[in-house]
Structure 1
């Protein structure tokens, strides 16, 4: 059970980091870095 929870938490964190980085990068490309800053 601990192993499953650990995988779930790690996956959740990785997804958030990737999404944040993607949104921040997209914001920079579009010239709207505020969106990325808010998410991060």
Structure 2
């Protein structure tokens, strides 16, 4: 039970990081598009 809870917390942290990385990538793509235009 404890290890399962720990895994859940770790997955949550991983998902938060993944969302943050995706947001940064999207922001960079928008910036590149603006610079190209």
Tell me the C-alpha RMSD between the 2 structures.
0.6
Q: Gaps spanning 5+ residues in structure 1: where?
A: 32-40
The structure carrying a bigger helix percent of its residues is 2
Q: Normalized against structure 1, the TM-score is what?
A: 0.71
After TM superposition, the runs of 4+ consecutive aligned structure 1 residues lying more than 6 A away are none
Decide which structure has the larger Cα Rg and report it: 2
Higher relative contact order (CA 8 A, sep 6+): 1
Q: Normalized against structure 2, the TM-score is what?
A: 0.75
Aligned residue pairs, count? 31
Q: Gaps spanning 5+ residues in structure 2: where?
A: 1-6
